Structures are given as C-alpha cells and as structure tokens.
Amino acid sequence: MFAYYLQLGLRSLRKNPLLTLLMVLAIGCGVAASMTTYSVFRATSNNPIPDKSSQLYVPQIDNWGPDASKDNKGEPPNAMTYTDAINLMRDKRAKRQTALYPAAISIVPTDPSMLPFRETSYAWYADAFAMFDIPFLYGHAWTADEDESHAAVAVIGKALNDKLFNGANSVGKNVSINGRDYRIVGVADKWNPEPVFYDVINTNGFDDPIEVFIPFTRAVELQTNTNGNNNCSHDPGKGWDSWIRSECVWLGFWAELPTTSEADAYRAYLNGYAAEQQRAGRFRWAPNTRLRNVTEWLDYQKVVPQEAKVSLMVSLGFLLICLVNTVGLLLAKFMRRSSEIGVRRALGAPRKEIYLQFLIEAAAVGLAGGVVGLLLTGLGVMGVSLVFEPDVARLAKLDVSLVLLTMLVAVLTTVLAAFYPTWRAAQVQPAWQLKSN
Amino acid sequence: MMHIKPILAALKRHKAGTILIALQIALTLAIVCNAIFIIHQRLERVQRPTGMVETDLMAIHSAFVGMGDNQGGPLIKADLQALRQLPGVQDAVSLNSYPLRGGGWSTGVRTDVDAKDSKAHTTQYFGDDHVLSTMAVRLVAGRNFRSDEVVEADPRSVPDPSMVIVSKALADKLYPDGSALGKPIYIGDTKKPTTIIGIVERLGVPWNAMWSDDFYENSLILPVQLTSPYTSYLIRAKPGQLAEVMKAAPAALVKVNRLRVIPSERGVRTFAQIRDDAYKGDRGMAILMSVVCLVLLGVTAAGIVGLTSFWVGQRRKQIGVRRALGATKRDILSYFLTENLLIGVAGVAIGALLAIGMNLWLVTQFEMARLSLVYVLVGVVALLLLGQGAVLAPALRASRVSPVEATRSV
C-alpha cells in the first residue's frame, strides 16, 4: 500500500508542478537557512572537553574592588594578577592547577633559508597537560621539578614538529625560541578543543591550535610579554617588575576539582584567601570571588557569537513561515481533490487510509524539500565565511550528522505541516462530493 | 468601493486559509522589520570613516625576535629610514596601533587634575612627527609635532608627554565650549598636565566592536616612539604606486633585519583589506539578512498566490453566478483585492505587535538598539503592497470567469 500511495502522491505532485515546486523550494530554503546557521551555532556552543567540563574550574578574585566591579554587575575581573596566580599556585589546594598566558615568542629555524615565524604559544605549568587531557605523540610533559627550576624545556605540537623535523621523533632535540635553545621533552598530538575554553579571554573562543608550550616560570623569568590582553585599573608604574607586582590582570588560571565537595572546599579557600588579602591591607573590600566550571565559564563569557544566535533565531522564524506557507499550499492542494477523496471514501476507504495517503504525499514533498535543502545547506556552509570570522567559519561543516538532520527536519516538519490539511481531507463527506458532480 | 460585509461572510467559511495567510503576513512582517533594522545598523557601521585618506595606504606588522621592550628603538629607526627611502613611498610611520587594526590602547582622560572619574574615554596612538602626513588626517587647529619633540620610550615606562594632538570629537567632549587648543588634559592616573597643541578633524579608534561605538572618534596622538620589538608600520604610497610598495616594503624590512616575524596572515595588508577584514562580520550579517528578507517576501507572495488561486478555483461557480447577475469584471477584481486587503490589514496589525515584541526580546538578549517605528510603518506598507501584487494574477483570472460558468454543472 505504501508504495502505491507514494506512486499516487508523486503523480499528484506532477499534475501541479508549479505548486509542488513552490512547496519544495519553500521547505528547501527554510531548512537550509536553519541548518546553515545551526551548523555555526552547534560548533560555537560545543562542549570542548565533555569528560571534564564539570571538573575544571576558573577561579576569579576581585582585586579591583567595588568601584570597578559596579560597571560589571559586581563581577570580579576576568583575568588574574601575577600576585594572585602565584599565591594560588603555591597553595596547591586543587588536585592540579595552572596559571597560563599566550606568550609572545618566535621560533627561529635552524635552516638559515627559513625566516623566523610565530605559532600560537602558551606558557603554563606541567599540570596543565594532564588537566586538559593533552595526548602525546612522542615523549611526555615536563615535570613539576622542571617548573620549579625554570627549565629550558618545551612541548611542541604535531604541526610544528612536521614543519621543523618532518614528523620525526624530536624528543631530546632543541628548538630555538626567541633566540634561546629549549630542549623538546614531548610532541603533543593533535589537540584542538573548540571553543578554545582554556583562553576565552584572549581568543574570544576561537583560535589556531597551540604549537608551542613552555614553562610559565621560565617565560616570566625571561620577561616574555603576553600576546593577550592586559588590563589595569591604575597605572602599574614603570618597568616589568612593577608591572608583574601591580594590580594589572593578564593571566588565566585553571584548577582541577574532581568532586563537588572539592569545588566547595576550593570556594571556601578562595574566600579565605581574599579575606587574608583584606587583612593584609591589599584589598579594602570584602571577599568577592567566583569559581566557574568550563560550561559556566563559556556561558558567562558569551562564547557563542551574537551573530550565531541572532541568525539562528531569524532562520528558525524563517522556517516557521515556510511551514505556515506549506500548510496553506497543502490545504489548497488537498481540498482541490475533494471529489477524488469522496470517491475513495464512497468505495469503502476508511479515514485512516486517507490520512496515510496524504501524509505519504506530504512526506514525498518533504523529502524533495530536504534534497533541495541539502544542496542549499552545502552552499550556505561554504558561504558562512561571509558572515563569520574565519576562526569561527571554518568550524561549520556539512558532516553526516548534519546531512541526516537536514533530511529529518525537512520530512518531519513537512509531515507536521500536513496534519491539518490531511485532517481536513479526511473529513470530506463522500455524499456531498458525489452529489455535486 | 465594495461592500465589506459579504466578503467577511465568505471569509468565515474559509477560516483556515484566512488565518494561515494572515499569520504568514504577520510573521513575515515581524522578521522583515527586524532584519531590515539590523541591515541598516550594520551598513551604517561599515561606512563609518576613519578620518584617514584610505587610498594608497597599507600596514605591516613586524616583531623582532627575542628582544626586550626597550631594545626595539634603533631597529625601528632603521626600518623607518629604509621604508621612507623606498621610491614609491610618500611617508611611513611606526605606531602601536591604527584605526580598525583591532588591538590598541585605551584610557580615561580628565580635564581637572583632582577629578576622580574620567571625563572621556579615548584611544592612544604613539608615533612621531610623521603620523599626520602618513595618515593624511586633516589638522583643523594648532600644529603638528616637531621632530625634536618626539621622545623614545619603553611601552612599560611611558613618561607623561608634555603635548598631545587630539581628535575634534575628543576635544569637543573635553572642552565643549570649543576652547580645547592650548588647554591641559590629564591622561590616565597622572597628575602631570599634557597640553593640546593640535586638533585633527577626525580619527577613529582601532576597534569596530559595539562596545567601542561610544567613543569611536575619541583619539589622541602622543609624540612618543615606542621601543617595543612589536610594532605596526603604516605606509603611504605615492598616488597609484600602492601595488609596488606592497611588494617592496616587506622585502625592504627583511633586508634591513632578518630576525623578525611578519605574520603570514594579516601581516601585510592594504588599508582596503584592513577595512574589509574589520567589517567582514557586519557586511556578512547585512548580506545574510537581505537574502533572508528577499526569500521570505518571495515565499509569502507565493503562498498568497497559491491559496488565492485555490479559492478562485473553488468559487468559479459563484463568480459565474455573480457575473450572470450583472457584476462587472471590475467588481470581481476588486472583490478579491479587497478580500486580500482585509486579511493583510489583520496580518500586519498582529505583525506590527510581533515585530516590536521580537525587537524588545532582542534588546534584552543581545543589547541591540530599539526598533524605530519607521521600519514597522515601511514594513506594513510593503507587505500590504506585496499582498495586493500577489493577489492580482489570481484575481484577474477570476474576473475573466465567464457568466456561462453559472449554468454549467448545476
């Protein structure tokens, strides 16, 4: 029966090609717009580290006081001072912890024909590798002792290893960073969390993968500048030393707290720390601290671009209109065949069969709409770079799940839209139709 | 004019179709109004001038390898000398930032040394006496720096300069009576005054984000050559020679000193590219919204055509009877036009409310501006016209129904 109804449906669709084309195009456009914008939304609202998103936390400490935080709904600064980061590192109250910043460093190739170049580089502590589950291709992370001794060691990314060493195991070799040699202790495998949760403040959530990791302690010792933001509430004074002792915030900080009780304990510790700073006279206000996990942090930092949300909203509205339109056109199409329905009903077809017949016809329209939608979605995903920053745009991909979702949405929404017209069709009184002919 | 009563009576028998068309018009109006509003806002930003003459202008970002903040001075000097000597170059300058670059310095400024809060927010550009000629910004009062007034400084230890050139917008904000020239300002936390020696007509900030819109034209230029190893060169080519300079300038820099990084992405750009990159998102959003609007209006028009055609088909007999009883073709035509107008008016009434509601929601969610009612009015008129246009073809077909139809199948 199914095949026969499908055949009937296709025949009826062919009979009125303009109307069918209208419906198919409307559904295709609506679905394509929604799916294209959804692909961006999906990429930007992705959970970058699903296994640990509720175990990794960003602590914030208000070192600027109520005068500054009143402009920001009472929230502490988004980044940390060197003073606070070092104190938190020293206290070691979390299972693992790291301070971090994007280091302004250049790689100098040993090959004299190559010019120096920059890669995304971070200075952080040894704990970070285990904390962020960074996979290793060769070697391993540096050790806590090497953090202590400000060792000249580095971990490099796979792409950089390919570029400098043609992909060979480079552990034990040297890499020249800012003109100084660093011993490579490990080569990280591809690690590219999206969004870039570990440094939302400086990247807005989207950046190239990290290719160079060096110990935080050594970077600071060598007065390596940050490649990221530096915010000061007051003039920090002259020179590097007064800057890192100042109240300027420029560091990220992460703590790994596997259980909620540990997180609660850490919260208490943060407040205790702020209270201690208040007693010492550094803060002239009551403790104001925050502790947010990955999900909460990405949400608080509004990582999903405003464009992604607005355009998703607009396209969903667009899909809704296309559906209202489809309801209307299907209604016209089905009601035009009242006499045909009357004949079928008079010959003994129960209402259920009428439902089935017309829903299958609608599903065929939906399927065709889905195919058109798929083509347009493909175009749309290619055109995403027109609207979004390249870092964001390249995340939008037409993968298997998006293809399936496109077809599913097209068919489901069309069938949904067909319910009312089908119900009306099934209500047709056979007697009325037979009489008038 | 047609009598409305019989139309209303007929519509009552087509409740579903009537509601569907009205709903579609309402939703379309709501979305189109907001979309056009967004388009207009974005386009306004894209066209914002920087105050510079943007033709024949380019920028290079360069970072010397492994240098401290105080070590770049002589190297930058050598770079500038090489750049200014290039045959196609009119002038060149080393800056911490420039309009639309993206990153830069900002600070508060006071006019009263004892004031606690700053009077205006502004960006700071650090450069030498070539800034004005390279940017080709227009000096409307006062004078430029002299080369002997320019000092060198480590960016972490910038002394309070004794003089400054400000943009007119900032001058007017600080001294609304227009007397800014020669007056002191206090930059950041300092207690030391800096005297305004020049005012330029217009100079934009390095940012193009919504948060910087409040102080978009507040800029000041300080006669300080920063010695950090990371710097941006702004280069003005002689008229028509930009293409050659785009090739020659980076090559000249590498020749002066190899131990530097010029980023492969966005390291060397013409100002046209810089403007394009800066406003990519805004322009893209405008394009996306325009496409959505056009397709949406198309879909709605098609929907009206479809449903009205169906109604005409259904009522051929009744139309025939009316024609047989003496109704003219124009009567039939105006019947369908009026019917559509009635549905349209209901639709736009709901749609106007929806549009305003949607905008209020967007305001709370995305800190957007309030929708001006002009957009709603324009949208209402546009959709009513669209409805009339869409219904015209089926209505004309209806008016051609011959009175003979009345006699046929009865």
Cα-to-chain-centroid distance, residue A417: 32
By DSSP bridging, strand B224-226 and strand B194-200 are: unpaired
- Backbone φ and ψ of B313, nearest 5°: -60, -40
* Residue A113 pLDDT: 82
Contact yes or no for A142/A171 (Cβ under 8 A): no
Q: Model's pTM, two decimal places?
A: 0.82
**Residue B73 is which amino acid?**
G
Q: Record the tokens describing residue A122, joined without a space.
A: 């971070």
- Per the CB < 8 Å rule, is A309 touching B34? no
- Per the CB < 8 Å rule, is A178 touching B66? yes
- Per the CB < 8 Å rule, is A386 touching B288? yes
Q: Half-sphere exposure (CA, 13 Å, Cβ side) for A296?
A: 11
Spell out which residues of chain B touch residue A117, defining contact as CB-CB under 8 Å: 261, 264
- Per the CB < 8 Å rule, is B190 touching A386? no
Whether A403 contacts chain B with CB within 8 A = no
Q: Average the pLDDT over A157-163 and give the result.
A: 94
* Residue B340 pLDDT: 92
pLDDT band at A399, cuts 50/70/90? Answer: confident
Any idea of the CA torsion for B115, B119, B120, B122, to the nearest 10 degrees? Answer: -20
Burial B9-26 (b: 16+ CB within 10 A, else e): eebeebeebbbbbbbbbb
* Residue A230 pLDDT: 87
Looking at the partner chain, which of A313, A322, A389 has a beta carbon nearest the beta carbon of B299? A322
- Residues with Cβ within 8 Å of B209's Cβ and at least 6 positions away in sequence, in order, are none
Which of A327, A336, A431, A381 has its CA nearest to residue A41? Answer: A381
- Per the CB < 8 Å rule, is A118 touching B63? yes
**Residue A148 is which amino acid?**
E
Any idea of the CA torsion for B265, B268, B270, B273, to the nearest 10 degrees? Answer: 10
* Residue B409 pLDDT: 59
Q: Which of residues 174-193 of B touch A (CB under 8 A)?
A: 188-190
Whether B38 contacts chain A with CB within 8 A = yes
Spell out which residues of chain A touch residue B366, defining contact as CB-CB under 8 Å: 306, 309-310
- Per the CB < 8 Å rule, is B254 touching A180? no
Q: Average the pLDDT over B54-77 and give the result.
A: 90
Tens digit of each residue's pLDDT (9 = 90 or more) over A216-232: 999 999 999 898 888 88
Q: Half-sphere exposure (CA, 13 Å, Cβ side) for A348?
A: 0
Looking at the partner chain, which of A307, A309, A318 has a beta carbon nearest the beta carbon of B292? A318
Q: Scanning the structure block, which residue is given the tokens 């009635």?
A: B342
Q: Average the pLDDT over B224-231 and give the result.
A: 92
Poorest-pLDDT segment among A146-160, B63-77, B229-243 = B63-77
Q: How far is A262 from chain B (nearest CA, A)?
A: 34
CB B87: neighbour CB atoms within 10 A? 9
Whether A21 contacts chain B with CB within 8 A = no
- A239 vs B80, higher pLDDT: B80
Q: Average the pLDDT over B364-378 and give the result.
A: 85
Q: Average the pLDDT over B265-274 and give the result.
A: 92
Looking at the partner chain, which of B189, B285, B295 has a beta carbon nearest the beta carbon of A234? B189
Whether A322 contacts chain B with CB within 8 A = yes
Distance CA B137, CA B202 (A): 7
Q: Which of residues 212-251 of A touch B (CB under 8 A)?
A: 223, 225, 234-236, 238-240, 243
pLDDT band at B356, cuts 50/70/90? Answer: very high
Contact yes or no for A360/A9 (Cβ under 8 A): yes
A26-to-A30, A368, B22, B297 alpha-carbon distances in Å: 6, 11, 18, 11
- Backbone φ and ψ of B92, nearest 5°: -150, 155
Q: How far is B159 from chain A (nearest CA, A)?
A: 9
- Per the CB < 8 Å rule, is A331 touching B16? yes
- Per the CB < 8 Å rule, is A331 touching B20? yes
Distance CA B311, CA B395 (A): 10
Task: Quote the mean pLDDT of chain A.
Answer: 90
Which of A201, A204, A404 has its CA nearest to residue A308? Answer: A204
* Residue B410 pLDDT: 44
Q: Average the pLDDT over A395-407 and give the result.
A: 87
- Per the CB < 8 Å rule, is B306 touching A329? yes
Tens digit of each residue's pLDDT (9 = 90 or more) over A106-142: 999 888 888 899 999 999 999 999 999 999 999 999 9
pLDDT band at B2, cuts 50/70/90? Answer: low
pLDDT band at A436, cuts 50/70/90? Answer: low
Nearest residue in chain A measured CA to CA from B156:
A239
Contact yes or no for A188/A135 (Cβ under 8 A): yes
Alpha helices, DSSP H only, in B168-315?
168-174, 242-256, 271-278, 280-314
Contact yes or no for A244/A225 (Cβ under 8 A): no
For residue A424, pLDDT over 80 is answered with yes
Residue A152's Cβ-count burial label (10 Å; 0-12, 13-18, 19+) is middle
Distance CA A345, CA A126 (A): 77
Q: Which helix (H) or strand (E) holds A184?
A: strand A180-188
Q: Average the pLDDT over B312-324 and give the result.
A: 87
Q: Angle between the A400-426 and A338-346 helix axes, to the nearest 10 degrees?
A: 70
Task: Quote the mean pLDDT of chain B.
Answer: 90
Q: Average the pLDDT over A288-314 and give the result.
A: 89
Q: Record the tokens describing residue A166, joined without a space.
A: 């043609």
Contact yes or no for A248/A79 (Cβ under 8 A): no
Which of B391, B403, B402 has its CA nearest to residue B335? Answer: B391
For residue A1, pLDDT over 90 is answered with no
Contact yes or no for A333/B308 (Cβ under 8 A): no
- Per the CB < 8 Å rule, is B17 touching A315? no
Tens digit of each residue's pLDDT (9 = 90 or more) over A70-80: 877 889 999 99
Tell me which of A106, A321, A427 to substitute to probe the interface with B (most B C-beta atoms closer than 10 Å). Answer: A321
Tell me which of A182, A310, A437 to substitute to probe the interface with B (most B C-beta atoms closer than 10 Å). Answer: A310
Range with the largest mean pLDDT of A12-16, A395-399, B303-307: B303-307
- B68 vs A168, higher pLDDT: A168
DSSP letters spanning B172-214: HHH-TTS--TT-EEEETT--S-EEEEEEES----S--SGGGGG
Tens digit of each residue's pLDDT (9 = 90 or more) over B20-53: 999 999 999 999 999 899 888 888 888 899 999 9
Q: Record the tokens describing residue A62, joined without a space.
A: 């208000």
- A43 vs A253, higher pLDDT: A253
Residue B196's Cβ-count burial label (10 Å; 0-12, 13-18, 19+) is buried
Residue B119's Cβ-count burial label (10 Å; 0-12, 13-18, 19+) is middle
* Residue A11 pLDDT: 84
For residue B120, pLDDT over 70 is answered with yes
Contacts 24+ apart (CB under 8 A), B361-369: B362/A310, B362/A313, B362/B34, B365/A309, B366/A306, B366/A309, B366/A310, B367/B210, B368/B38, B368/B41, B369/B41
B94 SS3 class = strand
Tell me which of B261, B312, B360 to substitute to probe the interface with A (most A C-beta atoms closer than 10 Å). Answer: B261
**Residue A345, Ramachandran bin (φ over 0: left; ψ between -120 and 50: alpha; else beta):** alpha
Q: Which helix (H) or strand (E) holds B122?
A: strand B120-126
Whether B294 contacts chain A with CB within 8 A = no
Give the CA angle between residues A58, A59, A63 to the nearest 5°.
135
Q: Average the pLDDT over A340-358 and give the result.
A: 88
Contact yes or no for B181/B149 (Cβ under 8 A): no
Nearest residue in chain A measured CA to CA from B65:
A178
Q: Half-sphere exposure (CA, 13 Å, Cβ side) for A392?
A: 26
Spell out which residues of chain A touch residue B317, defining contact as CB-CB under 8 Å: none
Q: How far is A343 from chain B (nearest CA, A)?
A: 18
Spell out which residues of chain B touch residue A331, defining contact as CB-CB under 8 Å: 16-17, 20, 307, 310
Tens digit of each residue's pLDDT (9 = 90 or more) over B9-29: 888 878 888 899 999 999 999
* Residue A305 pLDDT: 81
Looking at the partner chain, which of A30, A306, A332 has a beta carbon nearest the beta carbon of B366? A306
- Residues with Cβ within 8 Å of A245's Cβ and at least 6 positions away in sequence, in order, are A82, A83
Spell out which residues of chain B touch residue A420, defining contact as CB-CB under 8 Å: 16
